[in-house]
Structure 1
Amino acid sequence: MKLFPYGHATHPQWRMAAGLVLAQLRAQMTLPDYAAEPRLALVYITDHYAHEAQALLDHLRQELPEVTDWTGTVGVGIAVNNAEYFDEPALAVMLCNVPPAHYRVFSGVSPLPAHWADAALVHADPATLDLAELIDEMAARTRQGYLFGGLTSSRTRSVQFAISADQPQSLVAGGVFEGGLSGVAFSSQVNLLSRVTQGCQPIAPEREITEVDQHLVLKLNGEAALDVLLDELNINLSEPQKAIPVVRSTLVGLSPSGQSGVGRTGNLGNDVLVRHIVGLDPARQGVAVAEHLELGMRLTFCRRDVHAARADLVRVCAEIREELEPEMLSIQAISALSDDPVPTLPQGGQRIAGAVYVSCTGRGGLHFGGPSAELQIIRHALGDVPLVGFFAAGEIARNHLYGYTGVLTVFTAD
């Protein structure tokens, strides 16, 4: 599998941005290390172009007739190798060199057959009813139960792209949708590595939920949940002006029953779902959480933390590097890359042909220390590899909907 051609640009006029992107794609497709005839395209736009989404897609398809299948969505920001475009008109396209027999574009008008694929890249409208159930159902349609992707984020239209020449029924809508789920599924012949990186740090010990009423935590380890929260945060409801801002900045990390969500290093694990505290119930001594809760779940109070987010992002990149080159690169060795601005993988083993990164809208930019800092960390760790993605209103990994996380997925080849 050769490298995936990709391009990105910003311009107030979408036609000018598209022209710049097309020039980059065509130039790369002439290079020996890049794929010359890919058929699958991932396209991400910022919401500045959302109202022109259909015209933009039509233009790209006309200019690249050899590319028959398209999928993607819109975000308030989009991600590319070493840079992010936030709150500005921008476009990114990556052409994936995957054999047509081993992927399938799906949408509401062209559903994914059950158990055909091993994994799927999913884009979803956050306004869709019963979204968590739909994501779980979609994961069940894959053999590995693995999804990766995110929820559209837009201040205008929440558009998705999904069109395939092999599925004539999808042509009716022109390839631009609003609502529901869409994306592209991959067979077991497509090698993928995917990791979730958390953006929060625990600020209290993990406890078991021992009494619950739907969204309301009543007791933690047998103690009144509200008392535990106030004690851990060192606040008192008799001083609401001091207490309310502290509660608002506090989140909860949830893990399944019997499964610890805090690792040996004190960081949140991959399976932890971070949710907001949405209310306090002094009468019942409860804490309301934006998630349906079950008895026995593990809960820890946490806060967003830039240092934890940076360290965890480096960790997941290191894990991917180690899996690609297990004999040559350990996780600890990632620190040795600090003197190499654009490290490359050793010869042998596997290489990264392309990557997709979906990050939370609350993570980009200054949360990592400056503009594009998050993507620069990935570039520093993985090297100069083709990468596109977007900043989402919620991130999807496996059959879960996350918040304040990043989902990094790479396509690998020998």
Structure 2
Amino acid sequence: MKRFPYAHATHPQWRMAAALVLAQLRAQMALPEQAAAPSLGLLYITDHYASEAQAILDHISAELREVTDWAGTVGIGIATNNAEYFDEPALAVMLCDLSPDQYRVFSGVAPLPASGTGDGGFVAHTALLHADPQLHDLGELVAELAERTQTGYVFGGLTASRSANVQFALGSAGNLRGQGEASGVLSGGISGVAFGPEVELISRVTQGAQPVDREREVTAVEDNVVLALDGEPALDVLLRELEIDLDQPEAAMARLRRTLVGITPPSRSGLDLDLNHPSHARGQFGPEVLVRHIIGLDPGRRGIAIAERPSLGARLAFCERHAQAARADLVRICSEIREELAPEMSGIGDVFTAPDDATPAAPRQIAGAIYVSCSGRGGPHFGAPSAELQIVRRALGDVPLVGFFANGEIAHQQLYGYTGVLTVFVHDGVPAA
């Protein structure tokens, strides 16, 4: 595996942006340290180009004949190394130097087989997902897809678009019988790329909210209305801890709009809950916490309606989006990834590699990276244009990186909000002479 070529460009006309991207890719592919004939392409576009998605894929795939498989989607913004494109016409491409027998592009017309029943001997180890946010039972579908991988780990995000929610999924392995010739551009459903056990990934979740109160147990709940926390009416807890007075509605609503809830489901209570975990040591949420909106109050039952259906025994904490905490947590996950690449480091975070992998004689390196962040984050949240990706660049280094700003993020079989999911492809470094 060699370094992944990647490129990005913005232009009112998609053909001009594509020409710029293709020129960058060809220049990189001519370099000895870059992959010369990668077969998998990741394509992300902003929604300004959504109506031209098919034309863009047809043009780029025709120009890059060696790339036989494509995956990607649309976002309100797209991410690249050191830059963000928000609310402007732009596209980004990364060409992944992976063995064709170690990945499969999947979609509704080319489903991912159940774990252990892969076609041609392929066994899914992990998977990158792109999903339509309008899908019913989306959480269950993500979990079901995760069960089709050996590790149960999937990552990615929900498409974000003010027009068509398009996805790219064009695979050389073919489609279901009767589906005809696929165009590679889909609307609805879930698509992505499954990776085999020889594709080593390191993945991290960074949270964008900080708790403003301690965790409490959900002791009474009905559907999405939390009725009691630690045996006390949930609304009473909210009003007391946030110092909100409903007799002063304007001030109360201003505070409530800034307040979210962080939920730890009972089934995830053991994930990264070590008190020595860096995020907990700084009073920040770890990846086990799902951040959700407060969508209403129920004075009659003294309850709080939230955009989730928590179960009894879940843990809940009130929180707020916090740029400084988000910045520190983003630096943390980048630092952990860099530490994970050192030969002497092991057992930190989510590392997925072949069981018989030997410790390399030189530090491992990042061949490429995918970053999926919430569409409510990015430069505007971090204080300046492209600020979020500039933080990643400074902390992680100059690595090939593409991604998009999503309508929800996916990791650990869960749907997140206000988070960033950073995943890197790892290859062995060159041993010292």
Structure-2 residue corresponding to 1:68:
68
What secondary structure, in the 3-state scheme, does the structure 1 residue paired with 2:281 have?
coil
- Aligned AA for 2:46? T
Contact conserved, 1:193 with 1:412, CA < 8 A, in 2? Answer: yes
Contact conserved, 2:175 with 2:182, CA < 8 A, in 1? Answer: no
Structure-2 residue corresponding to 1:221:
230
User: 2-side partners of 1:137 and 1:328: how far apart?
Assistant: 32
Cα deviation for residue 348 of structure 1 reads 2.3
User: 2-side partners of 1:328 and 1:206: how far apart?
Assistant: 32
Question: Structure 1 length as normaliser, TM-score?
Answer: 0.94
What secondary structure, in the 3-state scheme, does the structure 2 residue paired with 1:74 have?
strand
Cα deviation for residue 165 of structure 1 reads 2.1
- Aligned AA for 1:58? D
Per-residue CA deviation, residues 228-269 of structure 1 (Å, 9 max, x unaligned), is 000111011111111112112100000022556971221101
Unpaired segments ≥5 residues, structure 2: 116-122, 349-360, 429-433
Match for 1:394 among 402, 408, 418? 408
Contact conserved, 2:78 with 2:86, CA < 8 A, in 1? Answer: yes
Unpaired segments ≥5 residues, structure 1: 332-346
Task: Give the CA RMSD over aligned residues.
Answer: 1.6
- Aligned AA for 1:24? Q
Structure 1 stretches of 4+ with a deviation exceeding 2 A read 168-173, 256-262, 326-329
Query: Alignment identity in percent?
Result: 65
User: 2-side partners of 1:399 and 1:244: how far apart?
Assistant: 33
**1:176–1:239 CA distance, 2 compared to 1 (3 A):** same
Q: How does 1:5-404 map to 2 (within 5 A)?
A: 5-115=5-115, 116-169=123-176, 172-257=181-266, 258=269, 263-325=280-342, 327=344, 348-404=362-418
Cα deviation for residue 110 of structure 1 reads 0.5
- Aligned AA for 1:178? S
User: 2-side partners of 1:108 and 1:165: how far apart?
Assistant: 15
User: 2-side partners of 1:188 and 1:313: how far apart?
Assistant: 27
Per-residue CA deviation, residues 114-152 of structure 1 (Å, 9 max, x unaligned), is 112110000001011111110010111111011110000
Contact conserved, 1:125 with 1:181, CA < 8 A, in 2? Answer: yes
User: 2-side partners of 1:363 and 1:84: how far apart?
Assistant: 11
Cα deviation for residue 308 of structure 1 reads 0.4
Moved more, 112-121 or 388-397: 112-121
User: 2-side partners of 1:391 and 1:239: how far apart?
Assistant: 36
Structure-1 residue corresponding to 2:351:
none
Question: Structure 2 length as normaliser, TM-score?
Answer: 0.90
User: 1-side partners of 2:343 and 2:408: how far apart?
Assistant: 32
What secondary structure, in the 3-state scheme, does the structure 2 residue paired with 1:263 have?
helix
- Aligned AA for 2:126? A
Aligned length: 398
Per-residue CA deviation, residues 354-373 of structure 1 (Å, 9 max, x unaligned), is 00000000011121121111
